[in-house]
Amino acid sequence: MLTQAPRGTKDVLPAESYRWQYLESKMRAAAALAGYREVRTPVFEHTELFLRGVGDTTDIVQKEMYTFRDKGDRSVTLKPEGTAGAVRCFLEHNLYADALPCKMYYLNAPIFRYENPQSGRLREHHQFGVECFGAKEATADAELILLAYRLLQDLGIRNLSVEINSIGCPKCRPVYHERLKEFLGSRIDKMCATCRERFDRNPLRVLDCKEKQCQELTADAPNMLDLLCDECSAHFGQLQDCLRGAGIPFRVNPRIVRGLDYYTKTVFELVTETADGKLTVCGGGRYDNLVAQIGEQDIPAVGFGMGLERVLMLLDSEGIEIPKPRQYDVFVTYMGENRPHAFALVQAMRREGIRADLDHCGRSLKAQFKFANKTGAPLTAVIGDEEAASGSVKIKNMATGEETTVPVNEACGKVRAMIG
Ligand code: ATP
Ligand code: MG
């Protein structure tokens, strides 16, 4: 127990964190290009925020939240998604008082859901989320889809499709709910237990069921797109025009409904086909009523969440290599009593921005070389007795074996020249 992380969680090891940092830097850059700035909100919030925000008919709220009472007997919940916290922050700090839209993103936000751990499904995962508050036009929906799509493309992911849908608004959706319930009525007995619950509370969610049996039974369910009101229909048309204009391929998929209750109009997913079936890397949509549901301001908004673990999975499955930074530019080796010289040289190099280190484990000179080699350092510096006596240092190119001896005060310049 003591040396085992909780089920459904994953460590990021020092040797692989560069992959995360690479993704993060790409994500930051993509967000910044479109004027989104970072927001950081707490890992836990009052439980009521999610009950109200995420919707108490969702799987997340019903079964998946990490909720507990703190020592002050307040019910708090570890973030099960990122949007509710962003909305709370937007309202609490009156960000709506500034000129809108208010564009923000969060990076690496840990998200907690008590799910059944399996490939691509963790109990703690991390999201890159982007939210745009105060923009009702479909250009905002389109720019978010494009941001996510281009980001994944720039990372080298090829096998990627954009699926969009509109789930209408409180004006047109109730009509659809009725139709859908009529359709489902004769089949619901054959569907899974979760779908039977969904049937009463939120029939739309039945379309999102991942059980094969349920999917087959709803294959010819009525289509929300046929029942959109004029406003929702025009909005969806504009979204498609924008995407076409931008030249990205997309597919209208009326079965995309998303797992959160707050969506209105646009919903979308970026999906890939893997050996185990469809994998959603990014999901999002418009939530025009969520801000009013949590606060008093009636402000439309749109956003998405992208799972970092899933992006990394995809990079692996497509064999895309992430440039690996080297741990050291130079490893300084030394003989016994020259340790102070070696230490001073390493510090001087670090001040010059050179990645340098020396042995801290009492290794022999031979073992130091072996270790240096293992770190992948392209250069080693040697301070043996001869070098110490003459105030010089020998620098060796590990790949070619080429050696040069320079005065200690020229070592940094030499190293720099050799690593280019
Ligand atoms: P799914 O349909 O796969 O359950 P979701 O609709 O629950 O996803 P969202 O709530 O929209 O997902 O979260 C946005 C993104 O976060 C997903 O597209 C996915 O990349 C990632 N994600 C969601 N749940 C998990 C999880 N349990 N483990 C890892 N990544 C996840
Ligand atoms: Mg889910």
Q: List pLDDT tens digits, range 202-233.
A: 888 899 888 889 999 999 999 999 999 999 99
CB 127 within 8 A of CB 111: yes
Tens-place pLDDT, residues 163-182: 999 999 999 999 998 999 99
Tens-place pLDDT, residues 340-386: 999 999 999 999 999 999 999 999 999 999 999 999 999 999 999 99
Average pLDDT (33-46) is 98
Ligand 1, atom 12, residue with closest C-alpha: 283
* Maximum CA extent, the chain: 93
Mean pLDDT in the chain? Answer: 95
Q: What is the DSSP letter of 118?
A: B
Please state which of the ranges 195-209, 297-311, 326-340, 343-357 shows the lowest mean pLDDT.
Answer: 195-209
Token pair listed for 34: 């479109």
Tens-place pLDDT, residues 264-284: 999 999 999 887 788 999 999
Ligand 1, atom 26, residue with closest C-alpha: 121
Ligand 1, pocket residues at CB < 6 Å: 81, 113, 115, 120-122, 125, 127, 258-259, 280-283, 305-307, 309-310
In 170-286, alpha helices (H):
173-185, 193-201, 212-217, 230-246
Rounded CA-CA distance 350/355 in Å is 6
Q: Which residue has the tokens 């005065």?
A: 407
Backbone φ, ψ for residue 287 (5° rounding): -135, 75
pLDDT of residue 33: 98
pLDDT of residue 414: 97
Tens-place pLDDT, residues 130-165: 999 999 999 999 999 999 999 999 999 988 999 999
Query: Could you tell me which residue, 408 or 200, shows the higher pLDDT?
Result: 408
Rounded CA-CA distance 23/382 in Å is 37
Average pLDDT (303-307) is 98
Ligand 1, atom 7, residue with closest C-alpha: 259
259: Cβ–Cβ under 8 A, 6 or more apart, which residues? 58, 59, 60, 205, 208, 283
My answer on whether omega of the bond before 101 falls inside 30° of 0, hence cis, is yes
What pTM did the predictor assign?
A: 0.94
Q: Which residue has the tokens 């999002």?
A: 284
The closest ligand to the CA of 305 turns out to be 1
Q: How confident is the model at residue 73 (pLDDT cuts 50, 70, 90)?
A: very high
Task: Choose which residue among 125, 165, 211, 314 to substitute to test ligand 1 binding: the one with the highest number of ligand atoms within 8 A of its C-beta.
Answer: 125
